[in-house]
Amino acid sequence: MDTLTAGTRATYDVLMERLERAASTDPERDDPRSRYPVTDTFLASASRHVNAATAVLVPAARKRLSDGSARGHAFVAQVRRLEAAMAQVKARLYGSTYAIGRSWSSVWDDTRIELEATRALEEELCHDLDVRREAGDPDWGDKLYRAELHAPTRPHPYVPHQGVRGKLAREVALRVDRFWDMAEGRMAPEPVRHHDRSHDGPITQYFLADPHFVEDAEEKS
C-alpha cells in the first residue's frame, strides 16, 4: 500500500483548499482583517510541510533511488521557488515594500503555480519511495509528520536547505518563527494525517479560520 503517496496527496489537497480559501477572501466585502487568519494558516501549513519534506524525503531519495541525488536537488530548487512566492504573499499581506505594485491576484497565481509544481515532484518522489521500500526502512510518512511538527512556520527561501547547514538553518528559523508567532498570536494548524482531515479541535479550528466540522461529521457517520 502506497501510504507515503496517499499521505502526501491528502496533505496537498488540504494545502490547495487553504490556498483557495485565502485567495478568495475579500476584505472589502468581509471583515477588513479577514484575510489575515486564512492567509497565515496557509503560509504556516505549507511552510511546515515543504520544510519537513526537504528534511525527510530528500535524504531518503538519495539513499533509496538511483537518481535520488538529482531529483532531490530538483525538489529543493522547486521548494525554494514556492517559498519565494509565499514570501511575496506574506509581504503583500503585511504591506512590505517588497510587494509594492503587486496585485493580490498575481501573488496568488504565482503561489498556486509553484505549489502545484512542488506537489507533482513530491508525489513522484513518494511513489518511487513506496515502490522501492525495503525491509528495515523507516516509516517515512511518520517521520514526515513528526518533522512537520517541528518545522518553521514561515517561508525562508534564502537560507540553506540541505545537509548540516540546512538542518541548523531550520532550527534557527523555527526559533525565530515561534517567537513571532507568540508575539503576534499566530497559530499553526497541526499537520495532516492520512485518513484524518485534521486533529485540531473545534476551538482551534475556529481560531485558525480553518474548520472541518462537516468533514469530521461525515467521517464519523
The 10s digit of each residue's pLDDT in 190-201 is 888 765 444 445
pLDDT attached to residue 199: 45
What is the total count of domains within the chain? 1
Better-predicted residue by pLDDT, 118 or 28: 118
Is the per-residue pLDDT at 130 higher than 70? yes
Distance from C-alpha of 57 to C-alpha of 93, rounded to nearest angstrom: 31
For the segment 90-114, the average pLDDT, to the nearest whole number, is 90
For the segment 54-78, the average pLDDT, to the nearest whole number, is 96
Q: Indicate the SS3 state at residue 30.
A: coil
Identify the domain containing residue 136 by its residue range. Answer: 3-220
Which range (68-72, 99-103, 130-134, 160-164) has the least confidence?
Answer: 99-103
End-to-end CA distance of the chain: 25
Is the per-residue pLDDT at 213 higher than 60? no
Q: What percentage of the chain exceeds 70 in pLDDT?
A: 85
Phi, psi angles (nearest 5°) of residue 101:
90, -5
Phi, psi angles (nearest 5°) of residue 147:
-65, -35
Q: Indicate the SS3 state at residue 156.
A: coil
pLDDT attached to residue 204: 53
